[in-house]
Structure 1
Amino acid sequence: MRDPIHCWLVQGEGRNILVDTGMADLPLIERRLKVQGTGGGHEGLRSALAEHGLTPDDIGHVVLTHMHFDHADNLDLFPNACVVVQRRELMAAIDPVPSQRIYYWQTTIDNLIARKRPNQLVLVDGDHDLFPGIRLLSVPSHTEGMQVVIVSTEKGRAALVSDLGDHYRYWYPADPRATDRPQRSLTGAFLTGNIRSESERDWQKAMRRVLDNSDIVVPAHDFRIPRSIPDEWFAIPESTAGDLAHVPPQPPSN
């Protein structure tokens, strides 16, 4: 299985907000987890921000959907930004459910604890309106302190759902456009993930709550997500074409 890892730049009213900060550079990932890939680290983030004429110093707020290593590394790139995370997530990172110990890295915890409050760290308890048009929904599921960022745009409310449902197939498991293995038994329901801190019923309720509070969902690890919102806006992909999660990577050509 292979997944892209996305971070989101949210801009409006003069603010530059980063939703998640991605993973460490690949040599470190390979040493710790014995997996391969491309990108990541400071260089990847700097390059992506530069495409928008920004540097890390231009980011005023960082919102962490949760603190797993692939979503919350690189915080040292943003020493002056205000990091916003659920208090419950920080506590979960310090004392996680046993199956998630590998996903929380001490460097992330140390970075947050060392930040000065409230200018460099805001701990949120439950749902929270961060700014006009940017709402945080507390949805314990994948982790105890999981939160989804709802961004109001000119076309509607976009839910950056992170790992609550990290591929379209989790949100639309009976739709052949979302998955090449549609499951009719899941019509009107959701496919929940294997990495979880809460029950499947809690996760189902969390996903329903997100749909009730948004107009589209944008998964964290699907190859087919829109890259620019609201310029690109779709509730579901046209087909499974481009869904490369289970397609073996091709060796580099000579």
Structure 2
Amino acid sequence: MSEWQIHSVKYAERGQRTRADSFIFDDNHDAPHDIDYYVWVLRQGDQTILVDTGYDDTEAAARGRPIRLNPVAALAPFGIRPEDVDQIIVTHLHYDHAGGLHLFPNATLHLQAAEMAYATGPCMCHDTLRMPFTADHVCEAIRRLYSGKVQFHDGDAQIADGITVHCIGGHSRGLQCVRVRTQSGWMVLASDAAHFYENLHARKPFPIVVDLQNMLDGFDTLERLASRPDLIVPGHDPLVRDYFASDLASHIHRLDTGPQKAVKT
């Protein structure tokens, strides 16, 4: 029974947001609500699997959303060389999750087929749906496909012993979460199936959504997959850094050991 270490790696943050940017139907819509940006590192022995890549300085400048650390620099405390990364689970192709694919040129991408179809299909004729994507990132995924370095999944799939992916959709058509066996039990990296703990626990959907029912049903899926609710890790919540202990550097937190205090639900 393989148990994996999981680390969250914060590479950016953004203030000057309100709760209206994070929740549909929120009564306190104009109150401030900050967001963090993460990638995740899965390790077991000499195996390393990266979950998402963040975005780089070029994308940061283009969108006016500065990053604190280039993803490669953010991963430096692990001793990870980008050319040595051979597997990346891409939860979805939005800019803040797939904007650094080109930084890891030798990696095979694990991607839901529905996500590639969505990012290259007629839905992208709509400005609102296209906004979180960047053409160069999608083209990088296509280039990787043509070099034989994309493994497509359709729904649930096993990536390695103790690691599975599960298509949820909602926020993006082929959004997938990642279920990982750890010393604390089955932990679920929700990615953007739940940006914040409050999205999940209060059943408050995030405003960027292609299928609202899938997003709402996805909250139930996350709870079904995890050994217990506090082992569901949202994709963008600053509270992750409060609940889990820092490790290796101030921007890195160890998740597989479990939260260091009770998660409010």
- TM-score, scaled to structure 2: 0.75
Distance 1:48 1:228, change over 3 A: same
Q: Which moves more between the two structures, 8-17 or 108-117?
A: 108-117
**2:157 and 2:164 in contact (8 A); partners too:** yes
Structure 1 residue 210, shift from structure 2 partner: 1.4
Tell me the residue number matched to 1:29: 60
Deviations 1:92-119 (A, max 9, x none): 1112352221111111111111125685
Match of 1:146 in 2: 175
1:160 aligned partner: 189
> Is the CA contact 2:183–2:257 (under 8 Å) kept in the aligned structure 1?
no
RMSD: 2.1
Quick one: distance in 2 between partners of 1:235 and 1:136?
27
2:214 match: 202
- The residue aligned with 2:73 is 47
Contact 1:15 1:60 in 2 (8 A): no
Look up the match of 1:193.
206
Residues 205-231 of structure 1: per-residue CA shift (max 9 Å, x gap): 111011111131111111121320223
Structure 2 vs 1, CA of residues 237 and 218 (structure 1 numbering), >3 Å: closer, same or farther? same
Give the Cα–Cα distance (whole angstroms) in 2 for the partners of residues 235 and 158 of structure 1: 16
- Say if 1:110 and 1:236 are closer, same or farther in 2 by CA, change over 3 A: farther
Alignment gaps of 5+ in structure 1: 174-189, 240-254
State whether residues 64 and 72 of structure 1, in contact with CA within 8 Å, keep that contact through their aligned partners in structure 2.
yes
The share of aligned pairs that are identical, in percent, is 25
Per the alignment, residue 233 of structure 2 pairs with 218
Distance of 1:22 and 1:65 partners within structure 2: 11
Letter of the structure 2 residue corresponding to residue 210 of structure 1: L
1:104–1:24 Cα change, 3 Å: same
- Secondary structure in 1 aligned to 2:95? coil
Aligned to 1:63: 89
Question: Given residue 217 of structure 2, which amino acid in structure 1 is its aligned partner?
Answer: K
Say whether the 8 Å CA contact 2:59–2:99 is kept in structure 1.
no
TM-score, normalization by structure 1 = 0.78
Give the deviation of 1:139 after TM superposition: 0.5
Q: CA deviation at 1:85?
A: 0.6
CA distance in structure 2 between the aligned counterparts of 1:5 and 1:196, rounded to whole angstroms: 18
Q: Distance in 2 between matches of 1:133 and 1:119?
A: 25
Residue 53 of structure 1 aligns to which amino acid in structure 2? G
Long gaps (5+) in structure 2: 1-16, 18-33, 245-252
Report the CA distance between 1:59 and its aligned residue.
Answer: 1.4
Counterpart contact for 2:167–2:176, Cα < 8 Å: yes
CA distance in 1, matches of 2:174, 2:262: 27
Within a 5 Å distance, the mapping from 1:1-254 to structure 2 comes to 1=17, 2-25=34-57, 28-30=59-61, 32-33=62-63, 35-40=64-69, 44-95=70-121, 96=123, 98=126, 99-116=128-145, 119-173=148-202, 190-199=203-212, 201-215=213-227, 216-225=231-240, 226=244, 227-233=253-259, 237=263
- How many pairs were matched up? 216
CA distance in structure 1 between the partners assigned to 2:255 and 2:94 by the alignment: 25
Please state how far the C-alpha of 1:91 moved relative to its aligned partner.
1.1
| Aligned-partner residue type, residue 60 of structure 2 | I
Q: Which has the higher contact order (CA 8 A, sep 6+)?
A: 2
Q: Distance in 1 between matches of 2:262 and 2:156?
A: 26
Q: Is the CA contact 1:168–1:236 (under 8 Å) kept in the aligned structure 2?
A: no
Q: In 2, are the aligned partners of 1:16 and 1:58 still within 8 Å (CA)?
A: no
